[in-house]
Chain A
Amino acid sequence: MGLIARAIEASGVATTSLTSAWSITASANPPRAVFNDFPLGHTAGVPGDREMQLAIARSALEAAWTMPEPGITVLDHQWPGEWRDDARGPVDHRTERLETPQYQNEDDRAAAIAAHGEGPACGC
């Protein structure tokens, strides 16, 4: 996402990124990012915590007006519970990189085929 942020900013539109992966974001060096120390897959907040999700989105957007120079700003939200051992350990959530459209459930697949046929994914 850092490459996308850099390209959009270079085209003249300000960007602000959420991140929970410090090293990946720092390496890509986007214009602005706000960091939450959360397990991956929850960049925008704790599930069901609407007030935290609102605060995170607001902080990220305000960063586009308040950060004086490129960098990563740390937010102080706390993840409920310990998660770092899993993140540093051998648990790997990657699955086979299938080349056909994948769906959350079979109802989605049926609805997509009904609407679009069996063809390749559209660029929309």
Chain B
Amino acid sequence: MQMPPDGLDAVDYIGVTKAAYDALGYDSYRWAHNDEPPAFVTPNVDLADAKVVIIASGGVYRHGDIGFTHKDDTTHREIPADTADAALRVTHFAYDQTAAQEDPSVVFPLQAVRRLVDDGIVGSVADMALTFMGGIYSQRRLREQLIPTLVRRTHELGADVALLVPV
């Protein structure tokens, strides 16, 4: 497991969560752990020609969409690439959403990626961004329900690279 570099005082959220659960007498939350190296592919095109799909777990939806439930919701929402920030909403059970509800760009960088496209840095943004509410405690449901859908939609949207934004 990669350790933080010297001088970086990163908060150990696994340790913080374990301490909080221990104090309450709960079983420890089992964070995903993979010793096996990940697949590692290089995009086929340059960034200036690449199509980017944004996938964000901060509970972002549009005004008029059905909101997320706060318990193992493995559905996702699709946010059209031209959606204005004013139409974006956020709901989540686990993090402080004060900033995200005021400026959705802090958890959903659609506006930034659109600007990178306008500036010629990035080729294009996928027609839809894919959003869901993270904090899904069931890794089985994540593997069987949400992950296959996100993989399929990434390919259907023709993305060359996926920008993943957890909270």
Chain A positions within 8 Å of B, measured between CB atoms, are 1-19, 21-31, 35, 37, 39-48, 50, 53-54, 56-58, 60-62, 64-65, 69-72, 74, 84, 87-88, 90, 92-105, 107-109, 111-112, 114-116, 120-124
Q: How far is the CB of B166 from chain A (nearest CB, A)?
A: 4
A sample of 23 inter-chain contacts (CB < 8 A) reads A7-B151, A13-B159, A14-B160, A14-B162, A16-B164, A18-B166, A23-B31, A30-B38, A30-B164, A35-B10, A41-B99, A45-B106, A53-B106, A60-B163, A71-B2, A88-B11, A101-B68, A105-B89, A109-B67, A111-B64, A112-B64, A116-B65, A116-B66
A54 CB to closest chain B CB (Å) equals 5
Nearest-neighbor residue (CB-CB) of B96 within chain A = A93
Complex interface bits, B118-130 against A, C-beta within 8 A gives 1, otherwise 0:
0001100000000
Nearest-neighbour CB distance to chain B for A120, whole angstroms, equals 8
Give 19 A-B pairs besides A29-B36, A30-B164, A105-B89 with Cβ atoms closer than 8 angstroms: A4-B55, A6-B39, A8-B151, A18-B164, A28-B34, A31-B38, A31-B39, A35-B10, A39-B96, A40-B167, A41-B58, A42-B100, A47-B106, A57-B109, A61-B122, A64-B161, A65-B47, A96-B93, A121-B69
A8 touches B106 (CB 8 A): no
- B38 and A9 contacting across the interface, CB-CB below 8 Å: yes
**Is there a chain A Cβ closer than 8 Å to B25's Cβ?**
no
Size category of the B interface is 35 or more
Known: A8-B150, A102-B70. A41 touches B31 (CB 8 A): no
Main SS class of interface, B: loop
Whole-angstrom CA separation of A69 from B89 in the bound complex = 36
- Please give me the 10 A-B residue pairs with the lowest Cβ-Cβ distance, nearest first: A1-B166, A57-B112, A22-B10, A101-B67, A97-B71, A104-B89, A17-B164, A10-B39, A47-B103, A29-B34
Contact present for A26 and B2 (CB under 8 Å): yes
How far is B55's CA from A92's CA once the two chains are assembled, in angstroms? 25
Mask, B1-33, CB within 8 Å of A = 1, is 111110011111111100010000000000111
The smallest C-beta distance from B89 to any residue of chain A, in angstroms, reads 4
A64 neighbours in B (Cβ, 8 Å): 42-43, 47, 161
